[in-house]
Amino acid sequence: MTPPTSNRARLALGAAAAALLLGLGFSAGHLLKGEGVVPGMGQGASEEREVLYWYDPMAPSHRFDKPGKSPFMDMQLVPKYADEEAGGGGVQIDPAVTQNLGVRLATVEMGSLPSGLTATGTIEFNDRDVAIVQAKAGGFVQRVYGRAPADVVAAGAPLADLLIPEWAGAQGEFLAVLRTGDPALIGAARNRLRLLGMPPELITAVERSGVVRDVLTVTTPSAGVIKALGVRAGMTVTAGQTLAEVNGLARIWLSAAVPEAQSAQVRVGQTVRTSFAAYPGETFSGQVTAVLPQAETASRTLTARIELANPDGRLRPGMFAAVEFAGQSRSALLVPSEAVIRTGKRALVMLAKDGGRFVPAEVQIGREAGGKTEILAGLAAGEQVVASGQFLLESEASLTGVQARPVTGAAQADAAPTLYRSHGRIEEISPTSVTLSHEPIPALQWPAMTMAFKLASPRLASQAEIGDRVSFTFEQTPAGPVVRDLAKAGAQ
């Protein structure tokens, strides 16, 4: 008689073997499709699924007419079933599994895409507001007023007292001429004092007081910050020597680093809004005065020079700023930015179809702002794309050999026309057609040109006039391009 412990051991071994065999009947691909076991196991021959071919998940483009080991990898070939092809291709997932994977859908729709160009910048001195203080004549520094570089001074602030011996003799001669009362001689003597560099107010003071004034107080001609100071007590100065350099602070520059790929959106005269960490919740308005001609090779950015008013002097050179460039919003075909899969060579989205199927589709993308991405070609309004969980679906599609719907093939694949968007100016318009001078259309490799488009509806002709700047949506048909949507630039 077999001991009870031996029976229990045999039962355990049998259960483990059964579990192993059952585990071999599962695959990741079939679980994604909502199937529990490999077809044919525990079923009659009449219920077996038809196999079209076998393939290697790591090289899905190669097909084989019988099962076996892959010549590329150390793994078994996987069958491709006829009912999978009949379902229209793509990845099919059971609704319960879809919920467990956290798949979230979003609808492709027309919307307003704002100008979302933002950049960072640094406050700098305004090099157009620089005053140079020079000595009008040679002399000696008798006194300084305790100024130092980086001091903020008001207009007329004293810097130093200069003793100019040459002026003493000239002023004495001038006073002597004044006593003669000869207008011609007095005029000539006064001109001589001006040529020696005396300011008019000093000449007037000498003439009124009759006292020689050979000491001149040098002052700042404008308010600002002292950038350089070259005067010290006791030193000798010569005519024309620079004593100080004062940079104004009433209007300052903000240098913003704009990515090279987005630099076309920046133009001179454009309004910007800036914010600073030092002043939370407060914005400052400015204007683009120049886009510097040289790009930074290391960061691939262009520098936009923005001028800001600074009447109270709160904005200091060196402060860091966040810059938002204003621009007109425009109507566009939009999807959530998180739905776009960028591979480096192309952009994809996962389309949601009926019956729990998901198909990859190649798209041409435009600008991105506010969490939305503009679709230039490859999708139509009303289609649904996967906004969460799309990477897992795209990986499964690649492993099973599902080809992405090309941009030019979107209309044929789903009976939905491929729509293209552009902007232009109306040259001529009638109830049936419109002539537009439009911008380049990269999706069709069209340059900027003037051409005629048919109008899908006479209603579109009533929405614009000759000379209007418009955004428009059109499709390519065998009879030529047909405008489906027409709106004035900036309107939704």
The domains of the chain are located at 4-88, 101-112+330-414, 118-126+250-325, 130-247, 419-488
CA distance to 156, 195, 272, 315, per residue, from 303 (Å): 35, 45, 14, 19
Q: What is the pLDDT of residues 365-391, one digit of tens each?
A: 887 777 888 888 888 888 888 888 777
| Residue 317: per-residue pLDDT | 92
pLDDT of 291 above 90: yes
| Residue 11: per-residue pLDDT | 44
| Residue 357: per-residue pLDDT | 79
Q: Provide the pLDDT confidence category of residue 243 given band limits of 50, 70 and 90.
A: very high
Confidence (pTM): 0.50
Q: Provide the pLDDT confidence category of residue 53 given band limits of 50, 70 and 90.
A: confident
Q: Provide the pLDDT confidence category of residue 118 given band limits of 50, 70 and 90.
A: confident
> In this predicted model, which residue has the larger pLDDT, 40 or 174?
174
| Residue 342: per-residue pLDDT | 84
Q: Indicate the range of 109-113, 154-158, 428-432 predicted with least confidence.
A: 109-113
- The answer as to CATH 2.40.50.100 being correct for domain 130-247 is yes
Q: Do domains 118-126+250-325 and 130-247 have the same CATH topology?
A: no
| Residue 89: per-residue pLDDT | 58
| Residue 61: per-residue pLDDT | 61
| Residue 399: per-residue pLDDT | 58
**Percent of the chain clearing pLDDT 70 (strictly above):** 78
pLDDT of 245 above 50: yes
| Residue 478: per-residue pLDDT | 67
Mean pLDDT, residues 289-311 taken together: 91
CA distance to 87, 360, 403, 406, per residue, from 350 (Å): 17, 4, 12, 12
Q: Provide the pLDDT confidence category of residue 305 given band limits of 50, 70 and 90.
A: very high
In Å, how far from its chain's centre is CA 325? 9
| Residue 7: per-residue pLDDT | 47
| Residue 379: per-residue pLDDT | 86
| Residue 416: per-residue pLDDT | 53
| Residue 444: per-residue pLDDT | 74
| Residue 21: per-residue pLDDT | 36
Please tell me the distance from the alpha carbon of residue 353 to that of residue 372, in angstroms, as a whole number. Answer: 22
| Residue 431: per-residue pLDDT | 86
Give me the amino acid identity at 221.
P
> In this predicted model, which residue has the larger pLDDT, 41 or 355?
355
**Closest alpha carbon to 487 in 477, 465, 448, 107:** 465
| Residue 443: per-residue pLDDT | 75
The average confidence (pLDDT) of the chain is 80
pLDDT of 190 above 60: yes
Q: Indicate the range of 119-128, 157-166, 242-251, 325-334 predicted with least confidence.
A: 325-334
Phi, psi for residue 353 in degrees, rounded to 5: -115, 175
CATH H superfamily, domain 419-488: Copper binding periplasmic protein CusF (2.40.50.320)
Q: Provide the pLDDT confidence category of residue 115 given band limits of 50, 70 and 90.
A: low
Q: Which of 6-15, 33-42, 296-305, 326-335 has the highest mean pLDDT?
A: 296-305
| Residue 395: per-residue pLDDT | 72
Q: Provide the pLDDT confidence category of residue 341 given band limits of 50, 70 and 90.
A: confident
pLDDT of 160 above 90: yes
CATH value of 118-126+250-325 in 2.40.30.170, 1.20.210.10, 2.40.30.10, 3.40.1010.10: 2.40.30.170
Q: What is the pLDDT of residues 440-473, one digit of tens each?
A: 887 776 778 888 898 888 888 888 889 999 988 8
**Percent of the chain clearing pLDDT 90 (strictly above):** 28
| Residue 86: per-residue pLDDT | 43
Contact 286, 258 (CB under 8 A): no
pLDDT of 253 above 90: yes
Domain made up of 101-112+330-414: CATH architecture: Beta Barrel (2.40)
Q: Provide the pLDDT confidence category of residue 289 given band limits of 50, 70 and 90.
A: very high
| Residue 122: per-residue pLDDT | 95
| Residue 329: per-residue pLDDT | 64
Round the CA-based radius of gyration of the chain to a whole number and report it.
40
Q: Indicate the range of 101-105, 240-244, 382-386, 461-465 predicted with least confidence.
A: 101-105
